[in-house]
Structure 1
Amino acid sequence: MSFRKGDFTAADQAQLTAGRPHVHFIEMTTRYWSLPAFLNESDVGTWLYPKFAVGYRHMIRWFALHIWSFMAEAGYEWVMRLDEDSFIHSHIPYDLVEFMEGRGLQYAYRVDTHEDKHYAVGFQQIVRSHLAMFFRDPYPSALLSHCTPPSLEGLSQDWNHFTFYNNFFLTNVSLWHRPDMRRFLEHVDRTGGIYTHRWGDAPIQTVAVMLFLPEEQVHKFTDWT
């Protein structure tokens, strides 16, 4: 599936899908590509980092929140993202979903990185507040191992912004419909930080995985590029 918002004409789509029966273009509707009701379009000028347009922030919200319901309603059990500027350079000699299912894995990525701290202002404090409200000690070590000290205080003060570079990821759709997962994603969404502070889908997705999945269900592919 290629998700689009008016950037391919019917002729473009016909040309690109010719001889490729598995390629589909999906037009993004206002259900998934519009401001949430709790934000006002008149405030756009006050948002941080204006070089990132509203459409870019819609894209972040899509990959952080909306894609899971879309894929579930479309009948998919797994979703893999390969961004428009991402490429697979080597042969993969196995079926990725079979690999995941055979090992009890729920989420996989290829590259890790560190998010620019300017694009996460306030995010870690929201994560800390969620942990304080809904978790009990011991808190998830996968997340706190990236904080100094490895505690809620460290999360607030010195998180190293480690993220899965999610221009490629592979995950089980059902994971993102767990009540605890939905509660976290909706908590982040309701703050408006995706729009007002340009919080990225990569740190949101990374933290969600670290909070709700045991580390043995998360995999980093290293045998292909």
Structure 2
Amino acid sequence: MSEASTASKEIPVGGMTNQELKDIIHTLRQLEANWNHKFHYPYTFINDEPFTDEFKETIRRHTVSDCYFEIIPPEIWNKPSNIDPDIEREKISKLTEKGVLYIDKDSYHNMCRFNSGYFYHLERLKQFKYYWRFEPATDYYCAVDYDLFKFMEDNNKTYGFTISLYDNPLTVETLWPVTLDFLKENPQYVHPNGAFRWLTENVQHPDYTKTTGGYSTCHFWSNFEIGDMDFYRGEAYTKWMEALEEAGGFYYERWGDAPVHSVGLGLFEDRSKIHWFRDIGYHHSPYKNIPNSDKCNAPEDSGYFSPEDVYDQNCLSNWIRLEMTNKELQTY
């Protein structure tokens, strides 16, 4: 993630390892060239292990912005004590047989849980309101000539995204039932203008909603996201996260931070405060959001999805159709 100066309320943040230095430099160069050379927001780099001197020195050679290197405390990174190892072993074995990616990697589960419910409590980030998450080996193809953080604040936006996808329903099989149980006990947290139709759409993948007990698996791809951390710090999201932690799905399944953020936003926030950054050219293999604009310089064709992906993976069309207001539609 990256961050802004301590005099402001915003910060870019990236989670990565020492081994990803080459890939983060690839991304950092594009962020600097296409946006941050105008604004000089500082960056915060996050790791569960100490960064090497080589990593820090190389990063600093590629930006004039301040850089901070933070270590995640083990108490918010490591597997919590309420996870039953026998239950975990049994469930992971079954999902491994079904070919679920990363299901046997503890570090992946730790990362998903940390990004879902803990990154915004890091000491470095407590002073900040907005964050921009970036990841190694991603591409930013378009020049952005305005301050994205100021846009979020001036337009009262809580969250911004570029790509929306369906998830593997096996990874979130009980996320929705656990959430519904929470809402039965806490109906006051549901926002009356939430993105309910997007969360429960069952036309493209009725088999997904059947597996998950009603959740479409639509989510904002969180490897790019700009958000208001005060939303996550709020009572509704905090209480819900406590229920998710108790259920253990970050380890018994593979609940990702993308569906967790998305379900939380869709239920507890006004959908009009969620913004599709159509003008940000972004690529994270294999998907992309690249406007047909003279501000963009991409090696591949502009577009949002290749034709073969539209049916199987793309949930952006549902967001546009079901949740965007007429005013928002008229701006595109």
For normalisation by structure 2, the TM-score amounts to 0.60
1:24 aligns with 2:68: yes
Q: Distance between the aligned counterparts of 2:62 and 2:110, measured in 1?
A: 31
Q: Which residue of 1 aligns with 2:179?
A: 127
Instruction: Give the Cα separation in 2 of the matches to 1:97 and 1:71.
Output: 21
- Contact preservation (8 Å) 2:174, 2:213: no
Indicate the larger mover: 165-174 or 43-52: 43-52
Matched, 1:14 2:14: no
Question: Which amino acid counterpart does residue 263 of structure 2 have in structure 1?
Answer: V
Aligned pair partner of 2:90 in 43, 46, 57: 46
Alignment equivalent of 1:96, drawn from 148, 155, 164: 148
Match of 2:9 in 1: none
Residue 84 of structure 1 and its aligned partner are, at CA, apart by 1.8
Distance 1:141 1:2, change over 3 A: closer
1:35 Cα deviation from its structure 2 partner: 1.3
CA contact (8 A) 2:112 2:250 kept: yes
How far apart in 2 are the matches of 1:138 and 1:25? 36
Query: Counterparts of 1:147 and 1:6 in 2: how far apart (Å)?
Result: 39
2:192 and 2:270 in contact (8 A); partners too: no
Give the Cα separation in 1 of the matches to 2:248 and 2:54. 37
Please state if 1:143 is matched with 2:196: yes
Larger Rg: 2
User: C-alpha distance in 2, partners of 1:126/1:117?
Assistant: 15
Give secondary structure in 2 for the equivalent of 1:171.
Answer: strand
Displacement of 1:63 in angstroms is 0.8
- Which of 218, 221, 224 is equivalent to 2:277? 221
Alpha-carbon shift at residue 108 of structure 1 (Å):
0.9
AA of the residue aligned to 2:57: A
Q: Which residue of 1 aligns with 2:239?
A: 183
**TM-score, normalised relative to structure 1:** 0.86
Equivalent AA in structure 1 for residue 220 of structure 2: F
Cα deviation for residue 11 of structure 1 reads 2.5
Q: Amino acid of the residue matched to residue 14 of structure 1?
A: E
Distance 1:111 1:158 in 2: 22
**Larger displacement relative to structure 2 (170-179 or 68-77):** 68-77
Superposed displacement of residue 168, structure 1: 0.7
SS of structure 1 residue aligned to 2:225: strand
Q: What's the counterpart of residue 158 of structure 2?
A: 106
Q: Within 2, Cα distance between the matches of 1:79 and 1:138?
A: 23
1:43–1:8 Cα change, 3 Å: farther
In the comparison of the two structures, how many residue pairs are matched? Answer: 222
Please say which of residues 6-15 and 159-168 is displaced more in the overlay.
Answer: 6-15
Q: Is the 8 A contact 1:144 1:155 kept in 2?
A: no
CA distance in 2, matches of 1:158, 1:116: 14
Q: Percent identity?
A: 17
Q: 2 CA distance for matches of 1:206 and 1:26?
A: 26
- Alpha-carbon distance between aligned partners in 2 of 1:31 and 1:138, rounded to the nearest angstrom: 32
Secondary structure of 1:2's partner?
Answer: strand
Give SS of 2:171's match.
helix
- Distance in structure 1 (CA, Å) of the matches to 2:249 and 2:162: 27
- 1:87-135 per-residue CA deviation (whole Å, 9 max, x = no partner) reads 2111111100110111111111111111111111111111111222211
Tell me if the contact between 2:193 and 2:271 (Cα under 8 Å) persists in the aligned partners: no
- Structure 1 distance, partners of 2:169, 2:211, is 13
Aligned CA RMSD, in angstroms, stands at 2.7
* Higher RCO (CA 8 Å, separation ≥ 6 residues): 1
Gaps spanning 5+ residues in structure 1: where?
A: none
